């Protein structure tokens, strides 16, 4: 939906101290950050800080007071968010004896979302989010353009260090109303390198541009991280939610019809927007849900409402039109949803989330509203567009036939290989520990590497599974073919949790996972990168909870060993740059050196492999985590699709994924 004209200082409701109400308490945030931010002190919690500030700016836009937002990631690790809305109130709060802006950033539950002056719909909690960000930042600076003056206040670790002050008249080139700059506290977030992921933030802002119609600019000034280039992108998506659903399908040739189906309406004060389109793919879980512009990753009531209405209407339509031939299996709910790419967005006054992390909406009225509007609008659409309706039903019928074929294939697999019994593949060298939390599975490439890994491992908690060559490309294969592949069957059996994303054909249960560290350990060359890519595609499509739980890793074996002078052990090096530095240092000291290039893991002896790649005390591993479905879809379509160039570039860069964090 196109955005209305909105500018800073424009007409509309005044935003003053009278609109701010307070519920006390900020002291516990630094002590127990996990209670207030999704992901606690890890990478998710770190990014949640920036997300909260962005959400507050978005609220000004969706309320009709702003139309442009800028997000900047600075070279020093800090971030800045600006919007051209009304500006945070800077007048005094009579009940607090302090400026409203100070209260907003120092008290939990203080903001423009609680009193009579509240936004009708809101994603962030202007006060909960703002104060938590403040508490968990080394510093936080707020500058407000209001009444022709620039007002400024500064906090350090949640405490006011520069009280509210007037800097002077607003310069003519200042187009924003509120500017918030902050630096997450490295003393709180200790688990990674304390840098915002551009892809992750970019994906979130791209979503918001589709959902709101706002102009959003993202800029990355971290030149040291990005080959000397400052990146900047502008998102302005007037096509709205229809274009969003369309963008989820990255391969035009797979579309089953041309334009997304769009449904809008309001039911009991809940605003509903739904858009979906079908493609010739096998996935049935590409449904994104949003509540007040916040991505609810676990869905909740809007998702239930959509699936209920969609399957009910489509089943009725197929039955009324006699589209399912006698003797063919009746499509299940998963069959009806196969190949769908969908966005469900609801806006409501008082959203009730499962937690502050906002991953699941609980409001029953949202389910009722989505059910009612989708039921009415989708039924009308099918009657008015019978050709599209027939295409969707035929896709579901094909999925039902494939499900039946997969069931038969599963029976064959069950009889011939231990996917669904207690047996483990013979080539698995298992560990003795029965505790998944301490157990590790290394997936290695070939017999040679498998031998070194088996000899070097710690048998108590490390298991080795050698694979022969490249596994099947599951992006292009049907389930029955996937389940017949010997290497994939061995992988499924070793992991022990089943297969996800296939409806009632198979079942995935994370609680049955036998290892909480699953490590892809392949050679550091193009073939190894390709094998890693194939494995990652399999995990993403059929064991995604493993990735989401943070249990999937990529080993980082060294490329070189340099021995300088008379030293015996040598130094292991992981990239070309490190080698150049080591050689330069040896030359400077006038010492002789010997360089060993490891072309494969099989060239290392067991002790070397343990020291460099498997020893928990000395190894380096990358944890794989795909945070944004849009980015993930783009990456995997590029990697596993028909275009060679993007796949080759990916492999050469050795597993740079949509979101990989150490």
- Strand order of the β-sheet with 560-564 is 571-573, 560-564, 593-597
Look at residue 352 and tell me whether its pLDDT is greater than 60.
yes
**What does the angle CA 510 – CA 516 – CA 520 come to, to the nearest 5 degrees?**
110
d(CA 216, CA 209): 6
* Mean pLDDT computed over 397-424: 62
Give the closest residue to 521 by CA, choosing from 429, 617, 452. 452
* Mean pLDDT computed over 94-111: 85
d(CA 153, CA 178): 12
Single out the residue in 185, 220, 235 at which a domain terminates.
Answer: 235
Name residue 339's beta-bridge partners. Answer: none
Residues 580 and 541 in one domain: no
Contact 53, 111 (CB under 8 A): no
d(CA 316, CA 522): 50
- Cite the DSSP H helix spans in 444-561: 446-456, 479-484, 486-495, 526-542, 544-548
Chain CA centroid to CA 158, Å: 28
* Mean pLDDT computed over 648-659: 43
| Domain contains 228 | yes
d(CA 15, CA 23): 19
Residue 513: predicted pLDDT: 92
Contact 625, 43 (CB under 8 A): yes
Range with the poorest average pLDDT among 17-26, 143-152, 310-319, 344-353:
17-26
d(CA 123, CA 237): 19
Residues 459 and 478 in one domain: yes
* Mean pLDDT computed over 61-90: 94
> Which of the four pLDDT bands, split at 50, 70 and 90, describes residue 378?
very high
Of residues 290 and 602, more confidently modeled: 290
DSSP 8-state secondary structure symbol assigned to residue 512: G
| Domain coverage including residue 592 | 560-597
Q: Per-residue pLDDT tens for 219-251?
A: 999 865 545 578 899 999 888 999 999 999 987
> Which of the four pLDDT bands, split at 50, 70 and 90, describes residue 654?
very low
Look at residue 265 and tell me whether its pLDDT is greater than 70.
yes
Of residues 364 and 112, more confidently modeled: 364
DSSP-based three-state secondary structure for 470:
coil
* Mean pLDDT computed over 20-43: 73
Residue 367: predicted pLDDT: 96
Residues 213 and 246 in one domain: no
Residues 231 and 361 in one domain: no
Q: Residue 612 is part of a domain; what is its CATH number?
A: 3.40.50.670
Residue 39: predicted pLDDT: 72
Name the token pair of 530.
């390709």
The DSSP bridge pattern shows strands 593-597 and 660-661 to be: unpaired
Look at residue 662 and tell me whether its pLDDT is greater than 60.
no
Contact 395, 256 (CB under 8 A): yes
- Cite the DSSP H helix spans in 522-571: 526-542, 544-548
Contact 182, 82 (CB under 8 A): no
- Of the segments 113-117, 159-163, 532-536, which one has the largest average pLDDT value? 159-163
Chain CA centroid to CA 561, Å: 36
Contact 326, 300 (CB under 8 A): no
- pTM comes to 0.61
Contact 363, 296 (CB under 8 A): no
d(CA 212, CA 48): 20
- Of the segments 207-216, 582-591, 653-662, which one has the largest average pLDDT value? 207-216
Residue 504: predicted pLDDT: 41
- Cite the DSSP H helix spans in 35-99: 43-62
DSSP 8-state secondary structure symbol assigned to residue 374: H
> Which residue's structure tokens are 């800080």?
49
Burial of 97 (0-12, 13-18, 19+ CB in 10 A): exposed
**What does the angle CA 521 – CA 525 – CA 526 come to, to the nearest 5 degrees?**
110
Residue 118: predicted pLDDT: 45
d(CA 603, CA 449): 8
Give the contacts of 185 (CB within 8 A, at least 6 positions apart).
Answer: 136, 137, 138, 157
Contact 260, 276 (CB under 8 A): yes
Look at residue 36 and tell me whether its pLDDT is greater than 50.
yes
> Which residue's structure tokens are 């990478």?
43
Residues 121 and 143 in one domain: yes
Name the token pair of 620.
């380096």
Residues 574 and 630 in one domain: no
Residues 423 and 435 in one domain: yes
Single out the residue in 404, 436, 466 at which a domain terminates.
Answer: 404
550 φ/ψ angles, rounded to the nearest 5 degrees? 80, 25
DSSP 8-state secondary structure symbol assigned to residue 647: H
| Domain contains 524 | yes
Three-state SS sequence of 285-351: CEEEEEECCEECCCCEHHHHHHHHHHHHHHHHHHHHCCCCCCCCCCCCHHHHHCCEEEEEEEECCCC
Alpha-carbon distances, residue 296 vs 334, 352, 354, 371 (angstroms)? 21, 11, 10, 18
| Domain contains 618 | yes
Residue 419: predicted pLDDT: 41
Single out the residue in 377, 404, 431 at which a domain terminates.
Answer: 404
| Domain contains 3 | no
The mean predicted confidence, pLDDT, of the chain is 82
Range with the poorest average pLDDT among 333-342, 472-481, 576-585:
472-481
> Which of the four pLDDT bands, split at 50, 70 and 90, describes residue 409?
low
| Domain contains 541 | yes
Residues 309 and 426 in one domain: no
Residues 384 and 255 in one domain: yes
- Residue 494 has a CB neighbour count (10 Å cut-off) of 21
Residue 115: predicted pLDDT: 45
Name the token pair of 608.
């070397």
Residue 266: predicted pLDDT: 97
Residue 416: predicted pLDDT: 43
Of residues 14 and 147, more confidently modeled: 147
The share of the chain scoring above pLDDT 90, in percent, equals 42
Chain CA centroid to CA 476, Å: 23
| Domain contains 412 | no
Q: Which amino acids are annotated catalytic?
A: 445, 523, 525, 527
The DSSP bridge pattern shows strands 79-83 and 178-184 to be: antiparallel
Contact 382, 62 (CB under 8 A): no
For the chain, how many structural domains are there in total?
4
Beta strands in 486-573 (DSSP E): 517-521, 552-555, 560-564, 571-573
Residues 57 and 156 in one domain: yes
Residue 410: predicted pLDDT: 54
| Domain contains 4 | no
Kind and range of the H or E element at 141? strand 137-146
Q: Residue 375 is part of a domain; what is its CATH number?
A: 3.30.230.10
| Domain contains 342 | yes
Contact 492, 615 (CB under 8 A): no
Residues 345 and 295 in one domain: yes
Integer-rounded Cα radius of gyration of the chain? 27
DSSP 8-state secondary structure symbol assigned to residue 272: E
* Mean pLDDT computed over 300-321: 95
d(CA 141, CA 75): 17
Residues 345 and 456 in one domain: no
d(CA 489, CA 484): 7
Look at residue 5 and tell me whether its pLDDT is greater than 50.
no
The DSSP bridge pattern shows strands 593-597 and 92-93 to be: unpaired
Look at residue 23 and tell me whether its pLDDT is greater than 90.
no
The DSSP bridge pattern shows strands 149-156 and 340-347 to be: unpaired
Name the token pair of 642.
């028909």
Give the contacts of 182 (CB within 8 A, at least 6 positions apart).
Answer: 49, 53, 78, 79, 133, 134, 137, 139, 140, 141
């Amino acid at each position: 939906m196109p955005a209305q004209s909105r500018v800073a200082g424009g007409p509309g409701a005044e935003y003053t101290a009278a609109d701010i109400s307070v519920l006390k308490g900020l002291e516990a945030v630094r002590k127990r950050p996990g209670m207030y931010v999704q992901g606690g002190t890890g990478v998710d919690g770190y990014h949640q800080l920036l997300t909260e500030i962005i959400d507050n700016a978005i609220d000004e836009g969706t309320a009709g007071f702003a139309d442009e937002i800028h997000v900047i990631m600075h070279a020093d690790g800090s971030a800045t968010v600006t919007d051209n809305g009304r500006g945070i109130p800077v007048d005094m709060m009579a009940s607090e004896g302090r400026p409203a802006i100070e209260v907003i950033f120092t008290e939990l539950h203080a903001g423009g979302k609680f009193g009579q002056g509240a936004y009708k719909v809101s994603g962030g909690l202007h006060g909960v989010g703002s104060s938590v960000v403040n508490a968990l930042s080394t510093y936080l600076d707020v500058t407000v353009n209001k009444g022709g003056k620039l007002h400024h206040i500064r906090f350090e670790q949640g405490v006011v260090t520069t009280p509210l002050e007037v800097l002077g008249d607003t310069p003519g080139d200042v187009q924003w109303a509120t500017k918030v700059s902050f630096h997450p506290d490295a003393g709180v977030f200790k688990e990674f390198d304390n840098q915002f992921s551009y892809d992750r933030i970019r994906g979130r802002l791209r979503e918001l541009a589709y959902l709101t119609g706002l102009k959003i600019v993202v800029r990355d000034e971290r030149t040291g991280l990005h080959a000397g280039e400052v990146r900047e992108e502008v998102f302005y998506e007037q096509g709205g939610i229809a274009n969003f659903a369309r963008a989820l399908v990255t391969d035009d040739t797979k579309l089953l019809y041309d334009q997304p189906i769009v449904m809008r309406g309001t039911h009991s004060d809940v605003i509903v927007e739904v858009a979906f389109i079908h493609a010739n793919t096998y996935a049935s879980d590409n449904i994104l849900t949003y509540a007040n512009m916040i991505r609810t990753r676990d869905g909740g009531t809007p998702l239930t409402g959509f699936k209920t209405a969609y399957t009910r209407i489509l089943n009725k339509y197929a039955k009324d039109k006699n589209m399912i031939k006698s003797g063919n299996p009746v499509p299940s709910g998963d069959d009806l949803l196969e190949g769908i790419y969908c966005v469900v967005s609801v806006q409501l006054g008082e959203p009730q989330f499962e937690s502050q992390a906002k991953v699941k909406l609980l409001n029953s009225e949202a389910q009722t509203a989505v059910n009612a509007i989708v039921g009415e609008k989708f039924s009308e659409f099918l009657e008015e567009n019978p050709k599209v309706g027939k295409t969707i039903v035929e896709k579901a019928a094909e999925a039902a036939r494939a499900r039946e074929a997969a069931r038969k294939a599963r029976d064959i697999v069950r009889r011939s290989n231990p996917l669904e019994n207690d047996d483990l593949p013979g080539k698995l060298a298992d560990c003795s520990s029965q505790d998944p939390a301490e157990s590790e599975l290394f997936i290695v490439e070939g017999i040679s590497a498998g031998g070194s890994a088996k000899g070097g491992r710690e048998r108590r908690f490390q298991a080795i599974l050698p694979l022969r060559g490249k596994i099947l490309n599951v992006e292009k294969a049907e389930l029955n073919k996937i389940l017949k592949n010997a290497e994939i069957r061995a992988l499924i059996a070793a992991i022990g949790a089943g297969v996800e994303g296939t409806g009632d054909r198979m079942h995935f249960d994370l609680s049955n996972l036998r290892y909480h560290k699953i490590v892809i350990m392949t050679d550091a060359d193009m073939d190894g990168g390709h094998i890693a890519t194939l494995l990652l595609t399999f995990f993403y499509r059929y064991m995604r909870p493993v990735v989401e739980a943070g249990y999937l890793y990529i080993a980082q074996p060294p490329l070189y060993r340099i021995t300088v002078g008379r030293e015996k052990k040598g130094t292991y090096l992981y990239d070309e740059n490190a080698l150049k530095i080591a050689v330069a240092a040896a030359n400077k000291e006038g010492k002789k050196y010997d360089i060993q290039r490891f072309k494969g893991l099989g060239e290392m002896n067991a002790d070397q492999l343990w020291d460099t790649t498997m020893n928990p005390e000395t190894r380096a591993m990358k944890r794989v985590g795909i945070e944004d479905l849009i980015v993930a879809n783009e990456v995997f379509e590029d990697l596993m699709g028909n275009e060679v160039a993007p796949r080759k570039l990916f492999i050469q860069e050795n597993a740079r994924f949509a979101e990989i964090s150490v």
